[in-house]
Amino acid sequence: MNTNHFDVIVLGGGAAGLTAGIYLSRAKVSTLILNEGMVGGQMVLTYEIANYPGIEQTSGYMLSLTMKKQAETFGCVVKQNVIIKDVNLEGSVKKVVLSNNEEYTAKAVIIASGGSSRNLGIESEDTFKGRGISYCATCDGDFYTGRDIIVVGGGNSALEEAVSLTKYAKTVTIVHQFDHFQAFEHAVEAAKQNPKINFVMESTISGFYGQDQLDFVKIKNLKTNETTDRTIDGVFIFIGYMANSTKFQNKVHLNQRGEIPTDEKMATNIPGVFAAGDVREKQIRQIVTATSDGAIAAISAIEYIQNQ
């Protein structure tokens, strides 16, 4: 069983984790980033990014790669495609155990495991992520200027984002599985009063189809079971969001939604444990807010280590 010690271990290699790695390693703090899957987190799902300050336009993959290279340039060790089996966050020495029984210890830990948009659970959904299917109106709305799109969902996020998307799209069709919405009345009224928005109720998307890009979807009426094909340029799915915090249950305090509450220094209820990015309890989830969290968490971790 291998044991390796670092000053800080960052759990997650998305925007928050990579930023923390850059700040920590540049400050000569020995840092290890452990990421389940390919680094980049939610960034990788975005085909084009045009609202990240200082970069006119790039792909989520390229921005992730740039951040990773920058962290590694300063000496940060990045391990991706690992599986975290267990974590022990108590005490002055934190421990992380991987599925291959490798052990890593550190004086402090930053949890930056991100979050995931809830999927419809359709097999073809993964095929078109970033190629016609999006989970972020702010990130991708501009790319659908003058086009016809579908928004799936009936909560506040779905209706508010649908209205927001009318700034770009030619038409927005809201597809919702019930005959009523779960959103606040003001959000419902704003959507109903928008001339670009129409509604397909008591229905769901049963399939996504296309070649390199999404071309059309099948919409199933849940009341009649009738299925119709609809040509569409893009689909935005807003049926909820989940923090990737399962591995930290009973390890650190979580709220009812599974998010990690922190103070303004990104500190959790466990000394020496910080949280940053989409796994944290917050309202706004953007790449730029994740990088901000990562920078703050890194500086706070450095202060914690120095005070020890």
Is pLDDT of 109 > 60? yes
Is pLDDT of 209 > 90? yes
Domain identity same for 40 and 127: no
Last residue of one domain, picked from the residues 190, 222, 237: 237
Domain identity same for 106 and 133: no
Overall number of domains in the chain: 2
Q: pLDDT at position 47, please?
A: 64
CA distances from 134 to 14, 90, 102 (A): 18, 38, 36
Instruction: Report the alpha-carbon distance of residue 265 to residue 30 in Å, rounded.
Output: 20
CA distances from 92 to 29, 105, 184, 301, 307 (A): 17, 10, 46, 13, 12
Vertex 114, ends 112 and 117: CA angle to 5°?
A: 175
CA distances from 179 to 119, 135, 171, 175, 200 (A): 21, 23, 21, 10, 9
Helix, strand, coil shares, percent, the chain, to 5: 30, 30, 40
Q: pLDDT at position 43, please?
A: 85
Last residue of one domain, picked from the residues 237, 271, 288: 237
Among 15-24, 43-52, 134-143, top mean pLDDT goes to 15-24
Q: Taking the complete model, does pTM exceed 0.95, yes or no?
A: no
CATH of the domain at 89: 3.50.50.60
Q: pLDDT at position 240, please?
A: 81
Q: pLDDT at position 199, please?
A: 97
Is pLDDT of 134 > 80? yes
Q: pLDDT tens digits, residue range 137-147?
A: 877 899 999 99
Instruction: Report the alpha-carbon distance of residue 29 to residue 61 in Å, rounded.
Output: 27
Domain identity same for 126 and 225: yes
What single-letter amino acid sits at 61?
A: Y
Domain that holds residue 265: 3-116+241-307
Domain identity same for 91 and 177: no
Mean pLDDT of the chain: 94
Domain identity same for 158 and 177: yes
Last residue of one domain, picked from the residues 211, 237, 263: 237
Vertex 125, ends 46 and 66: CA angle to 5°?
A: 20
| Average pLDDT, integer, range 1-16 | 88
- Give Dmax over CA atoms of the chain in angstroms: 65
Domain identity same for 138 and 217: yes
Is pLDDT of 107 > 70? yes
Domain identity same for 79 and 132: no
Domain identity same for 280 and 210: no
Domain identity same for 87 and 102: yes
Domain identity same for 134 and 208: yes
Q: pLDDT at position 1, please?
A: 46
Domain identity same for 9 and 143: no
Strand 115-117 to 103-111 pairing? unpaired
Q: pLDDT at position 3, please?
A: 59
Q: pLDDT tens digits, residue range 270-297?
A: 999 999 999 999 988 889 999 999 999 9
Domain identity same for 225 and 287: no
